[in-house]
A and B are shown apart, each in its own frame.
Chain A
Amino acid sequence: MTAVAPTSAAEKPVEPPPAQRKLRRNLTPWVLLLPGLLWLVVFFLVPILTSVSASVQQGDYDDGFKLTWHWANYADAITKYGTQYLHSGIYSVLCTVLCLALGYPVAYFIAFKGGRWKSLLMALVIVPSFTSFLIRTIAWKTILADNSPLVRTLSDLHVLKITTALGWTVGDHVLASPAAVVCGMVYNFLPFTILPLYTSLEKIDPRLHEAGHDLYCNTFTTWRRITLPLSMPGVIGGTLLTFIPAVGDYINAQLLGNPNTGVVGQKIEDLFLRNTQGYPVGSAISVVMMVGTLILVMSYIRKAGTEDLI
């Protein structure tokens, strides 16, 4: 609407002097950007700067924190929480891979075989997220409870013996184990993988598949040579939308994990909420996480070669 304003102004009989017109034309984009910029400054820039500044402070709640450029906080943040970084990394990568493996077939099916049920099927994917994230995670506590039918069945089938030997479950229970954490994460983030995958798969012209078959490709080769390359933006988008929140997620580890499945988010929460001196190191960990995630994501995008995504 507003973008049209200069031209409609130009058609008016009383025309402002050219200099004023130019000024207005230069200002318009900025005025339009203003709410967004303000939003970014207040809710992104200021918090980030606060967090960076807090990460080099010293002190405690009661005596106040002072900016002393205490870089040792970073040494603490990096050296003391190795296991937590490792867990965050493993769980989020695993979650992303599993989400892709589960989400791709679902998105493929809906996009190509869904027919007139497409919208309904997509709604089925999305609707569960209308329930609170927290409640859905707590529901998993019931699904995976020690005496739940699912866990009893797995135990009777001796599946848990194998997973326990691999270190993914503990004894004959699933709840409070790494497997439960990853299950919860996959469940919670799956829609974020499916949505972008579906959008990019849906755009693919089905005639390309026919062409592939005409050229003597079997279904798998058609998928590998045609569908997969064309759906790459969806794969990358889905990966990022899953990995970035997953790496910082701690609700799943908190509710479904045990003391040996700690992730970085829990450490930060502890330092912020239960430790009167915890702000600086907690902030330092947050900064390390942010920079780390940024580097990972940037190199991933470089490698995948779709700079146009960002």
Chain B
Amino acid sequence: MSNPSPSELARYANRTRAHSTAARLSRRSLLRGAAIGGLTLGGAGALTACGVSGHVVPAGAQEKGQAGKDYSATEKKVVFATWPSYIDVDPKNANRRPTLEAFEKQTGIQVQYLEVINDNNDWYTKVDPSLVRGIDTGYDLMVVSDYMVGKYRTYDYIQELDLSNIPNHSLMLPQALKDPTDPGRRFSVPWAYGYTTFAYNTNLVKQPITSISEVFTRPDLHGKVSLFSEMQDTVAIALLAQGYDPEHFTDAQFNKALEYVRRAKDNGQIRSFTGNDYLSDFQQGNTAVTMAYSGDVAQLGKPNLVTVDLPKEGMLSWSDNAVIPNFARHKTNAEKLLNYYLQPQVAAALDDSINYIPSVRGAVEALQQLDSTAAAVPLIVPTKQMQANARGFMALSIAQLNDYTSRFQQVTGQ
């Protein structure tokens, strides 16, 4: 990866749904005309999304989000809402965050770093009441998953970035720029690319886990498996287990996947459906196998907790992205922060610690210099086989997304 040839880059791109769905999307949007380009939930979804009526945000504002008064110059701060374990910490002192502190020193901007997001839907219902009324949410920057960027965009809840504040935007890898929910990355900056796979505790699981179906069926794992409460993660894994493609699936296949999850839940194989808080039960040894975001378990640094690099049937690839919600008070400061994290050295330091995949040109090289062992970790710099077998999640319309999510919650929601 240090010196990627065009063909290698193409394969690298393939691992993210970013690339593959973008290609589909651009063909379709060409056919449908530029008018629906702004509605980014992809394919047929764009049309359905057009039908959303009665929305309070005036038409025409649809393009750029809505700016409030920017207090960046007078209030030297930025309020950053994000997920737990998503920042580099000093190995000697877990309360110190080196890259963030360096940014504060460099710019004089204080970062209020809040690990408050545990689940995309949870978070959406938390900020939505403010966004729908057209008032400031209190956050200047928030990290949300790829498909959610599309949802926020559809309702015009996030602001277009001022690229003059983000000169490093040009350093983004081409496959990150070709995002299906945000082509050209005018509204979002990727914070991390990663995979949804499994991790297990070798103290409790004697025989290594190599496939998804084992997790759902092996008797020795009965009642010790934890899955994610987010529809995309669990459904994608269930689709893969049945040999379907999460990037292109039918309603019937979705139903079968859901049935697969329901059966495992009903017979007691599944112990819990969790959000990002899955690690506490896993570390305590209460769950022996857990669905895991690729970098999380490696961050714990416990030799008995092992991540499955690539289950036989494949795995889900995704991105989490930083966006600026409407009426943010410190938009310019937030953009400066994004610009800072788009520097190859900073991105490398961040990903070295959080074990996710960088999306900035030169970051892999910087990582090799910084920490050559980390650069050899497949979760940070994935192997070609991983790239080839990781799949994205099909782009859904708002209606489909709501329908699938609520049917999934019917199964998992206890």
A-to-B contact residues, CB < 8 Å: 60-64, 80, 84, 141, 145-147, 170-171, 173, 175-176, 253-254, 257-263, 266-267, 270, 272-278
Residues of B within 8 A of A257 (CB): 414
Are A171 and B122 within 8 A (Cβ)? no
Residues of B within 8 A of A173 (CB): 223-224, 286
Residues of A within 8 A of B266 (CB): 260
Q: How far is the CB of A89 from chain B (nearest CB, A)?
A: 15
Residues of A within 8 A of B56 (CB): 64
Are B54 and A64 within 8 A (Cβ)? yes
Q: Interface 1/0s, chain B 373-414, versus A by CB < 8 A?
A: 000000000000000000000000000001001100110111
In the complex, 6 of the A-B residue pairs with CB atoms within 8 angstroms, ordered by the A residue number, are A259-B271, A263-B414, A266-B413, A274-B125, A275-B409, A278-B406
- Give the residue of A80, A146, A176, A273 whose beta carbon is less than 8 angstroms from that of B410: A80
Are A84 and B414 within 8 A (Cβ)? yes
Distance in angstroms between the alpha carbons of A253 and B223 in the assembled complex = 16
Q: How far is the CB of B362 from chain A (nearest CB, A)?
A: 39
Residues of A within 8 A of B129 (CB): 61
A171-B222, A176-B271 known; A274-B121 Cβ under 8 A:
yes
What range describes how many residues of B lie at the interface?
35 or more
B-to-A contact residues, CB < 8 Å: 52-56, 119, 121-122, 124-126, 128-129, 132, 155, 222-224, 229, 265-266, 268, 270-273, 284-286, 402, 405-406, 409-410, 412-414
Nearest opposing residue in chain A for B411, CB measure: A259
Q: How far is the CB of A198 from chain B (nearest CB, A)?
A: 36
A62-B128, A267-B413 known; A260-B52 Cβ under 8 A:
no
- Give the residue of B155, B268, B284, B410 whose beta carbon is less than 8 angstroms from that of A145: B284
Q: How far is the CB of B332 from chain A (nearest CB, A)?
A: 28
Are A258 and B271 within 8 A (Cβ)? yes
- Give the residue of A61, A266, A277 whose beta carbon is less than 8 angstroms from that of B406: A277
- Give the residue of A63, A266, A277, A278 whose beta carbon is less than 8 angstroms from that of B414: A266
The list of the 10 closest CB pairs from A to B, nearest first, reads A262-B414, A274-B121, A170-B223, A270-B413, A171-B223, A63-B54, A266-B414, A61-B128, A259-B265, A176-B271
Residues of B within 8 A of A262 (CB): 413-414
- Give the residue of B128, B222, B224, B273 whose beta carbon is less than 8 angstroms from that of A259: B273
Are B268 and A61 within 8 A (Cβ)? no
Extra contacts besides A171-B223, A257-B414 (6): CB < 8 Å: A62-B132, A64-B56, A146-B286, A171-B268, A176-B223, A276-B125
- Give the residue of A63, A170, A176, A275 whose beta carbon is less than 8 angstroms from that of B121: A275
A63-B54, A145-B285, A270-B409 known; A258-B128 Cβ under 8 A:
no
Are A274 and B409 within 8 A (Cβ)? yes
Residues of A within 8 A of B125 (CB): 61, 272-276
Residues of B within 8 A of A272 (CB): 125
A146-B286, A147-B285, A260-B266 known; A176-B122 Cβ under 8 A:
no
- Give the residue of A64, A175, A261 whose beta carbon is less than 8 angstroms from that of B286: A175
Distance in angstroms between the alpha carbons of A61 and B266 in the assembled complex = 32
Residues of A within 8 A of B55 (CB): 62-63
Distance in angstroms between the alpha carbons of A267 and B412 in the assembled complex = 10
Residues of B within 8 A of A254 (CB): 414
